[in-house]
Chain A
Amino acid sequence: MLTATDISKSYAGVQALRAASFDLRAGEVHALVGENGAGKSTLIKIITGAVVADGGTLTINDELVTQHDTAQAKRLGIAAIYQQPALFADLTVAENIAYGNEPVSLWRRVDWRARHEHSAALLARVGANIDPERRAGNLTMPEQQLVEIARALSANAKILILDEPTASLGEADTQNLFRVIGELRAQGVAMIYISHRLEELAQIADRVTVLRDGQTIETHAMRDVTRDDLIRLMIGRELSAVFPKRAVKHGDAVLELRNVTCAAANVYDINLQIRAGEIVALAGLIGAGRTELARVLFGLTPADSGEIRLNGERITINSPEAAIAHGIAYVPEDRRQHGVILPLAIDQNITLASLPANGWLNFSAERQQAAALVEQLGVKTPSIFNAASNLSGGNQQKVALAKWLATKPRVMILDEPTQGIDVGAKAEIHRLMGDLAAQGMAVLMISSELPEVLGMSDRIAVMHAGRIVGELSREEATQERVLAMALGH
């Protein structure tokens, strides 16, 4: 039904997919698995026409697809359902299902009765007991998902893409969803099923394809592979990069968390200790609560309960200012968004978090400090007065780091510090992390890249569903063990 051959795609120089091949048969549930960043989302986006591939061919219903876009995908009967339902919250269920899928009558007059009946029939088909006249925004998450499936059916979808559909479902709703999937399969609908829950694949999938580093590795019939096979295939790489891990003598505990909970951030009962000179990695899948924990530590979503201790003293962190005052620095994940302020000059970015307390700027001191940090971190720029928007991603990340080094922190939290930057800059940032630890800083690194986690850290705390489910020392940790814990086993 659908064949993708040698698909490649790069974003701003980062290769998201290289030679990915994939085929989908009518009436099968084909699972797609891989680590964070393996290229699953990119492949899906190419199939739905949301992004255009750089190379490769896509054949749907034995026709070579050129000029693919979302409208074309819809005509070809491709529909995608994402983890977060995308319904029009203020329209009714019937209106959502009908939107764009109704036959156009004279003067585009709406036949309300037909619309209602059509929706009711589709909802019955997916086993949803929902009044078509309810406002979509008032539905629960599983209900919204079923409405989305009904909408896809209304569009006559032949290929249905389900991206982590069970991530926010309870057991009963999951089973109901599986029943619906089973019925659709019997009706000949082909489904691509993406999930990190490997155990459910055995129940629902017919075949499975493993993606790794932008390549499709192997495709198997689901009954031929075990969970451990899949984990091995998902990792399956040598530790290729050499990490400049330095032996640093660890001091006393700098940051200590005891039973820290923040319900609003979905982070529960965190116990963690970071000592001076230590690099601790937070591993886990996307949505496991790693960034959320970092945001709690930085006062963006203050903890509800539990204790945070800094150098043994109990502190309260209820705002970023408080965190900064306590010597905690946070380099956020989304560098382009919030790590640096793009229109501001490099020197102004670097001094932004350490503006003088008395309110008077001292240009010469500011420039000296910025120039020193630019030099120390090796930011490649003709001038410190250039806007940060002119820098490459790696250099922007260095400026974000410089901004926090200027505050002379005791704890440095780095959220995906090397995501989307080139190899050279990556190595420099790793070297720098080593330097910071050697200077006695406590470093907390969040990374989705297992080799980086294993290569850079002294200790690894693995998160799953908002909790730390285990800690591994540098010696104990292997990719398999970390991934298995992250998957919740």
Chain B
Amino acid sequence: MNQIFNKYQRELSAALAFAALLLVVLIVAPSFYSFGNLRDLAVSNAAVLIIALGMTLVILLGEIDISVGSQFAVLSVVAGLLAKTGLPLPLVAVVVLLIGWMLGALNGALIAWVRIPSIVVTLALMVIWRDVLRWATDGAWVQGLPASFQWFGLGQSAGQAVIVIIALLLAFALHWLMRNVAAGRAVYATGSDAEAARLAGIRPPHVTFHVFALLGAFTALAALLNSLRFAEIPSNAGVGLELKAIAAVVVGGTAINGGRGTIIGTVIGVALLGTIGTALTYAGINPYWEKAIQGAIILAAVCSEFLFAQWQTRRSITA
């Protein structure tokens, strides 16, 4: 028990914070728990969750990707334009996922083989994709989407359910894969100590490349699902999305230096950061505080990580 506590301490503290938030809201504003509100929260956080899942792997490697917001915008517009050509939805999905994979693969190739630091690569591509999109669309929104595109053509409530289910299924699948597939072990090993991983016969550059490519594909899926929710697609979609995803991963207990963290933690992180704004509104606190409180939570999560690490090294020295 004690061991499990030690191992998942950071996930547990995020879960505890989330539970405390839910409890406070339950007392102060029970109307928060209406089905409609919970459903809206789930639907609006599905895209963040999907991107945060991929981002978890990137951060586990000790890397970062801040281009996902711009990728998201590009992929949303591409999805909309493809849908307007009358292509059937499954085909649109395949093409968009493929393009997303390629955008991520470009990041990955530059980071893994050209060995440019990930913050630089993704910063440059964040700006490039955003401006390419602005130039290509002249800022125009994609309008007049076919009816079969919205909500998979299933109608709103069924469509919403499908989106949430897809996101949750992906989380469970990834959680399971990270534990049961050799590639998952390779991600943890590379993030902890790339040289040791290399000495064990793992190829760290390949791991890096595939993780970034996977994040690109996840971003594509998030963009696709998000586009289904609206009648038109803004060309400035996804601004700040990268920060939301990174924050959720960090709050969920993944070490920003890599090597340690879990998918479950990220799910909790998304839940905590995704609900806090709405919860505050229900609790009657000025919503202007939302960002400040989110920031404080992120800072607390990162601080606790480093304080804990220092405490552990001190303890191991005296031991």
Contact = CB atoms under 8 A, between A and B. Distances in A.
A248 interface: no
Contact of A361 (B180, B195, B198, B199): B180
Interface string A259-282: 000000000000000000000000
A339 interface: yes
B196 A341 contact: yes
Interface residues of B, number: 25
A314 B132 CA distance: 53
Given A360-B180, A385-B3, A337 B200 contact: no
B181 A341 contact: no
A12 to B, nearest CB: 8
Contact of A337 (B186, B188, B193, B260): B193
A383 B2 CA distance: 13
A478 interface: no
Contacts of B186: 355
A361 B200 contact: no
A52 interface: no
Contact of B199 (A332, A359, A383, A389): A332
A132 to B, nearest CB: 34
B259 A343 contact: yes
Contact of B195 (A337, A348, A355, A385): A337
B192 A361 contact: no
A51 interface: no
B180 A389 contact: no
Given A321-B203, A343-B260, A361-B180, A352 B195 contact: no
Interface in A229-260: none
A359 B201 contact: no
Contacts of A330: 199
B183 interface: yes
Contacts of B195: 337-338
A389 B316 contact: yes
Interface string B149-179: 0000000000000000000000000000001
A403 B200 CA distance: 9
A352 B180 contact: no
A293 interface: no
Interface string B254-265: 000001100000
Given A321-B201, A340-B196, A355 B182 contact: yes
A478 B289 CA distance: 77
Contacts of B200: 320, 352-353, 403
A344 interface: yes
Given A341-B189, A344-B188, A353-B201, A360 B182 contact: yes
Contacts of A332: 199
Interface in A1-22: none
B185 A341 contact: no
A356 interface: yes
A393 to B, nearest CB: 12
Contacts of A343: 188, 192, 259-260
A22 B201 CA distance: 47
A370 to B, nearest CB: 13
B185 A348 contact: yes
Contacts of B102: none
A338 B199 contact: yes
Interface in A316-375: 319-321, 323-324, 330, 332, 337-344, 348, 352-353, 355-356, 359-361, 363
B142 interface: no
Contacts of A353: 200-201
B12 interface: no
B193 A342 contact: yes
Contacts of B202: 352
24 contacts: A298-B199, A320-B200, A321-B201, A324-B201, A330-B199, A332-B199, A338-B195, A340-B196, A341-B188, A341-B189, A341-B197, A343-B259, A344-B188, A344-B189, A344-B192, A352-B200, A352-B202, A355-B182, A360-B180, A361-B182, A363-B180, A383-B3, A385-B3, A389-B316
Interface of B: 3, 179-186, 188-189, 192-193, 195-203, 259-260, 316
